[in-house]
């Protein structure tokens, strides 16, 4: 196992200081940054603009990889691609690329495993294994961008909706997105990022204070505390009233629309009553609701409602003037759908 520091964990200014200590000219940091985030080089030998002595020093000081692809699977006629990575510590990470027309959305992980314990989520059944560093979050993105570039495709959006609760790894997640947003490097616009949280209220408020252009999505799944606490245990700590208040304050402070994710489970949260409650809860809210038919999860007996039931739920929300979209299930056959990540391969690592 390498003990070298991962180069993607460093900001541009931190790398500048290191190169200054090495008595390298100031322009070297720009070359290094462009090589990492524009040319997407991940080996010191690729930096042929550098003298051999500097390339050697970089190889002695830094690791350029810390997550390693173990398995790649495809679904939806090749339009959904999932890669299972392994960290040096043996922890699994899964990342999914989804294509819809010309749009390519990358779903990345912020943790290995997850401690939130949502009952319908395979990752939650794994429990928490490890926080990812900012560099490991970045590595997932750069790995897939190399793939899409080789196929003359362009990444459209990045969603932090893979394994883990991003707001339990708040600092590292934001550092990663800042680095990917840097106009002198990867230059991926803030509005093309979305962070999804199960509802960690203090971090929603902290995120609001930062007034970022990054999109925010809340995994809601129920409109009353009894049901939501059953589905999403963190609701016992941050009940719906507290969560919605924080979300309303976020919208007021940032003037940005918020998204609510709602996994539809037959005979549980797909009723007319739940739709009515949700409509009342979000009345007058600058928001959008994503309705997600449940993807199958081992150990959880629930299933998706019928198409008719889903459309009836959607109609109720529309009658309350709440914009909503039914998300088309993707990647089910390769366990790449929402809530399915990683549990199928856990045994090979532990």
Which residues does the annotation mark as catalytic?
94, 338
Name the residue among 18, 13, 57, 12 with its Cα closest to residue 35.
12
Q: HSE (CB half, 13 Å, CA atoms) of 151?
A: 12
Distance (Å) of CA 27 to CA 16, 39, 43, 228? 9, 16, 20, 54
In three-state secondary structure terms, 48 is coil
Number of H helices, E strands in the chain: 11, 14
In three-state secondary structure terms, 158 is strand
Give, as one character, the DSSP assignment of residue 329.
Answer: P
In three-state secondary structure terms, 135 is helix
Q: How far apart are CA 276 and CA 294, in angstroms?
A: 20
Distance (Å) of CA 204 to CA 196, 217, 253, 258? 10, 10, 12, 11
Contacts of residue 21, Cβ cutoff 8 Å, sequence gap at least 6: none
In this structure, the chain runs to a length of 350
Do residues 85 and 130 lie in contact, with contact meaning Cβ atoms separated by under 8 Å? no
Burial of 242 per CB tally in 10 Å (0-12, 13-18, 19+)? middle
Record the tokens describing residue 249, joined without a space: 């304050």
Contacts of residue 72, Cβ cutoff 8 Å, sequence gap at least 6: 81, 82, 83, 84
């Amino acid at each position: 196992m390498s003990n070298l520091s991962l180069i993607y964990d460093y900001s541009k200014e931190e790398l500048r200081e290191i190169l200054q200590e090495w008595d390298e000219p100031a322009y070297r940091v720009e070359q290094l940054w462009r090589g990492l985030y524009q040319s997407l080089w991940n080996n010191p030998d690729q930096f042929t603009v550098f003298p051999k002595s500097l390339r050697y020093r970089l190889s002695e000081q830094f690791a350029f990889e810390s997550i390693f692809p173990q398995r790649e699977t495809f679904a939806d006629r090749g339009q959904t691609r999932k890669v299972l990575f392994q960290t040096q510590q043996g922890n699994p990470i899964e990342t999914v690329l989804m294509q819809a027309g010309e749009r390519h959305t990358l779903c990345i992980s912020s943790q290995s495993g997850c401690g939130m314990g949502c009952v319908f989520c395979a990752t939650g059944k794994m429990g928490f294994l490890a926080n990812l560093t900012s560099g490991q979050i970045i590595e997932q993105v750069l790995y897939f961008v190399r793939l899409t570039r080789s196929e003359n495709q362009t990444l459209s959006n990045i969603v932090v909706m893979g394994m883990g609760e991003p707001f339990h790894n708040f600092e590292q997640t934001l550092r990663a997105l800042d680095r990917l947003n840097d106009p002198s490097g990867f230059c991926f616009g803030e509005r093309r990022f979305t962070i999804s949280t199960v509802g960690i209220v203090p971090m929603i408020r902290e995120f609001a204070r930062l007034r970022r252009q990054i999109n925010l999505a809340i995994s809601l799944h129920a409109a009353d505390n009894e049901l939501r606490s059953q589905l999403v245990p963190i609701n016992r700590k941050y009940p719906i009233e507290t969560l919605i208040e924080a979300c309303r304050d976020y919208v007021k402070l940032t003037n940005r629309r918020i998204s609510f994710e709602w996994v539809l489970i037959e005979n549980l949260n797909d009723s007319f009553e739940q739709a009515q409650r949700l409509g009342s809860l979000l009345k007058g809210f600058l928001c959008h609701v994503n309705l997600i038919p449940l993807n199958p999860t081992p150990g959880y007996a629930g299933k998706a409602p019928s198409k008719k039931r889903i459309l009836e739920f959607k109609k109720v929300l529309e009658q309350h003037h709440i914009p909503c979209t039914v998300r088309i299930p993707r990647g089910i056959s390769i366990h790449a759908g929402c809530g399915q990540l990683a549990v199928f391969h856990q045994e090979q690592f532990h």
